[in-house]
Amino acid sequence: MNIQKVGIIANSSKESAVDYTCRLSEWLIERGLDVILDEEIAERAKAYRGVVREELADLVDIIVVFGGDGTLLVASRSVRGRDVPIVGVNLGGFGFMTVVNLNELFSAMELILTGDYTTSKRMMLDASLKHDQEQTAKHSVLNDVVINRGNLSSMINLETFVNDQYLSTFKADGLIISTPTGSTAYSLSAGGPIVLPDLNSIIINPICPHTLTNRPIMLPPDAVVKVVLWAAEENATATFDGQVSVIMKSGDSIKVKISNDYINLINSPHHNYLEILRTKLGWGGLP
């Protein structure tokens, strides 16, 4: 790919994001490239062209995201379905998707600009929420859909079907329906498996189930998962990628399936996925 235009999305609440956005923009412009910023960081940088985030993917060849995985999840919603690759730059958090460290930024960009990089095509999930048989919300996620008891005092019952076949009614604090990308997020904290990103699958993971034999299940990518909530109280929630939340009522259902949309993440030019996994989780190296 001949890269001529670079977009930047950043966590504008972090001062370091403003600083590195300006530094990278100047570095790119010195090399004859055009730079277009997400309007939020453009307002903070006060020196470069900014556009609405949803328009950015149609105007650039690649997008650089400064922040953590949360910032990258925000970016994924605005670029999903486009082929424009995204490189995540970690501003110091734990992120698994922001694979370029700050001290590697310019050396990594040198390689990326010459085309010396690979990408990872990340599947997404489409989720639709129904109340009284009418669709009330629809969201696409890169990480997960989570049904949670919220501030309820008791467990909730989650009647779960796969391809219209009854699986189980989980009596639990909640249920996580995750992509492989999301397997290292909330699902991992809840005891779920780590699934490599290129293994397209859907993970169902109950949160603190009453029945201890309830365990995470991996499903093929063509599976359609339907979950019906049954609760004696109100205020259970459905959360999409941990950033959008809606209240669910008893009898409401969520249907989740693989999306036609996806995002392309640029892999680190300096580290492979297993090395990143080992480093982030603090696993031991060679003896």
List the catalytic residues: 69
Measured distance between the N- and C-terminal CA atoms of the chain, rounded to whole angstroms? 41
Q: Give the helix/strand (H/E) hosting 265.
A: strand 253-266
Angle between helices 105-113 and 15-30 (to 10 degrees): 40
The β-bridge relationship of strands 62-67 and 85-90 is parallel
Residue with tokens 């492989």: 180
Residue type, 142: L
Contacts of 281-285 with CB under 8 Å at 24 or more apart are none
Residue with tokens 């019906």: 228
Q: Give the helix/strand (H/E) hosting 60.
A: none
Q: Which positions ≥6 away from 225 have C-beta within 8 Å?
A: 160, 161, 162, 177, 202, 204, 219, 255, 256, 257
Partners of 36 in beta bridges: 7
Q: Which positions ≥6 away from 9 have C-beta within 8 Å?
A: 37, 38, 41, 53, 56, 63, 64, 65, 66, 67, 71, 74, 75, 78
How many whole angstroms separate alpha carbon 248 and alpha carbon 176? Answer: 15
Residue with tokens 């050396």: 107
